[in-house]
Amino acid sequence: MRTFADRTAAVTGAASGIGRALAGRLAREGCHLALADVDADGLAATTAGLTGTGVRVTSTVLDVADEQAVHGWAATVVAEHGGVNLLVNNAGVALSGTVASLSTADYRWVMDVNFWGVLYGTTAFLPHLEASGEGHVVNVSSVFGLFAQPLMSGYNASKYAVRGFTESLRQDLELTGSPVSATCVHPGGIRTAIARSARVDPSAGAALGQDAGAAAAGFEKLLRTSPDRAARTILDGVRHDRRRVLIGPDARVLDALVRVLPTGYQRIVTRAVRSRRTR
């Protein structure tokens, strides 16, 4: 997909952050939009911001963890837009805490949104993308899909799963001669609301000698790349049909660290996190 003009893109997590920035950039390039998010107010704000762009915009309040709802949304998108060319599975949530303290319900919550939401979106839209004759799936993983960090086991597990799924998907599509391609995106620290809306177990703060709120605030300070820059990088990756897209200098540095020290990086990361106790 060298151009997005007169194409249709379906984007989840469109109420804010990267999803909202993608919607804006795609609209400016003449791409029609089907937007979804569980946040009705944020989604309405995104849609209102696209007024006057000259593209068709539809929006759906959607929980990506609901398989039936996701498949229903895909059918609605095709009915309303006549087809779909690009899918961006961007919706995600964050979870922090020690393995000993988190419940299985906590793990199910983060996996339901971050992994199963990606799987449901991909399987729901894939037949329609293939029918378009020119399709692309973008699945948003994370820098935490490249390396692991303490206190983030659930989030790490979900984002590693997205990475593995997307890389295998890409190979499946090539093996079968599909007109659809796939890209896995690994953002570093992006200035979005994910830290503020994260579930932070008290055990995370205790491990850092802080309360949960301070732990979340400390994480938020690491979010330095703008959503618009992230959106621009993602769309450039689609244009060039890249298998993997890294966003932000932190993502590139950490990717290099893991390549050089595939197991040794863990000690470095643990020391860095531990050092926050003294700050």
- Full set of structural domains in the chain with CATH: 8-94+105-194+226-256 (3.40.50.720)
Confidence at residue 126, expressed as pLDDT on a 0 to 100 scale: 98
Confidence at residue 274, expressed as pLDDT on a 0 to 100 scale: 83
Q: Closest Cα partner for 209 from 142, 275, 121?
A: 275
The whole-angstrom separation of Cα 225 and Cα 79 is 36
Per-residue tokens: 213: 């709120």
pTM over 0.75: yes
Instruction: Judge contact between 247 and 223, C-beta under 8 A.
Output: no
205 has a pLDDT exceeding 60: yes
The proportion of the chain whose per-residue pLDDT surpasses 70, expressed as a percent, equals 89
Query: Where in the sequence numbering do the catalytic residues fall?
Result: 155
Residue-averaged pLDDT of the chain: 91
Q: What backbone torsions phi and psi does residue 36 show, to the nearest 5 degrees?
A: -145, 145
Query: Average pLDDT for residues 66-79, to the nearest whole number?
Result: 98
CA R_g for the chain: 18
222 has a pLDDT exceeding 60: no
Burial of 54 (0-12, 13-18, 19+ CB in 10 A): exposed
Residues with Cβ within 8 Å of 253's Cβ and at least 6 positions away in sequence, in order, are none
Instruction: Judge contact between 220 and 195, C-beta under 8 A.
Output: yes
Q: What is the per-residue DSSP string for 262-277?
A: TTTHHHHHHHHHHGGG
> Which amino acid is it at 45?
A
DSSP H or E stretch at residue 189: none
Q: What is the pLDDT of residues 31-52, one digit of tens each?
A: 999 999 999 999 999 999 999 9
Compute the residue count for the chain: 279
195 has a pLDDT exceeding 60: no
Q: What is the per-residue DSSP string for 55-78?
A: S-EEEEE--TT-HHHHHHHHHHHH
Query: Average pLDDT for residues 89-110, to the nearest whole number?
Result: 95
Q: What backbone torsions phi and psi does residue 60 show, to the nearest 5 degrees?
A: -140, 125
Query: Average pLDDT for residues 196-218, to the nearest whole number?
Result: 64
For the sheet containing 180-187, what is the strand order? 57-61, 32-37, 8-12, 86-89, 135-140, 180-187, 244-247
